[in-house]
Structure 1
């Protein structure tokens, strides 16, 4: 299934994308695509519905983040060896973890704001993993069973805030609009191998990133198991699994986002995002 949330910010409704690419309303069956609605049992009930019997949503509403009420967004840094190399860092021996503030999360086609004082705002297409079952110390063999599904993430980053202002990476990752999610949550039954997905990102029509999740240093099962050893994962938590090479910081010379530019990005089978870049207040 492809699940989504549509409507104005803060008033999104749950929906399902039917086989013809039309939005069907799920409001009679659940309050939001969040928390308990992401369990295997809940998803099985939704899967049993006849999409043609669900109300058809008219027009082209705004698409919100594909998951609501997110408890935490955990990001994995330097998870592609070629990306680590372009940033001048060695591939890590263990997953590098940091947190992105949930207030950064926005819809997949919402404008991305360059924050006040920024000169190095950058792009990062990533595979997002959405947790469906509470997990603590989950084994690698069982790790994928706690995943509800997958989505596209743009882990927008301000490199000077991240690396030149002291402390950890979170301050460079958490500005408003720095976490577009979606357009939809694709349930795990439709993604038989999360390590066989192509990723790409364009800026103003120029291809900047091309990669495959096959080139991750730590695969999804390893990441989920590893993180669950440090913190309990809850339904609706999102993991951003790292970015392939081609970020602005890695260009020679480095190239960063400017107001007026447009990012387009996508992952095989998971849909596309489009964000206009604007100057934040």
Structure 2
């Protein structure tokens, strides 16, 4: 099944007991806005998970602006909300799917495959006159036992190695020049941030040397839904499906919809650099590139 579900699909299954709907609305710079929106109105039965309090770990010297949460801490939070290993989760937000995709990725990282994203998000749901409520459900705790899928993550050492090899290959140096199996680095941020021309969130501007730019919002239609598998395959047509791909963004959030889109387009070897750009620049020795690759 596709990683996304339609509004009518969810409407038809709104009250199925094995399902948990998760509201992931969050506004950067306004950390209370998402929860306040949830408390005002949400899809019936939905619980709330906060990007920074639930779907991220504490910020430190390294790890980026939204470090991965501790798997056991997240599992305990899921259990408290009544989410178990047999639950089907449908996540939504109002930010073009970026926060919902973060939960989608995290759950799969914890070994849980039954997780989906609502196409179009909350505003599209409400625009269809589908039901909303301010009632917060009482949840019976469950047991969520994580089975970590460590192969889904690439750390800074791996990314540094790939970057160095890519730069050498582009310069025609060493054995890497004829090594087509070299992993690809994908930067998911807007092109002006990738080029280093408009950085408003992080202390340094630019991108990881050797990375290509595929803006995450280009994977979506005007209504905030994801493009079809065929459209996404065309969007990523310049990439080799046999090569490993490491995706990053500013802090590991907007890279997640790009991971989803790549997998929807048929790419099988996709990993997330969770700390992303904000982690990369926390190491003073890491080089920074600007302009186009």
TM-score bracket for this pair, using the shorter chain length? under 0.3
Question: TM-score scaled to structure 1, two decimals?
Answer: 0.27
Larger Rg: 2
Higher helix share: 2
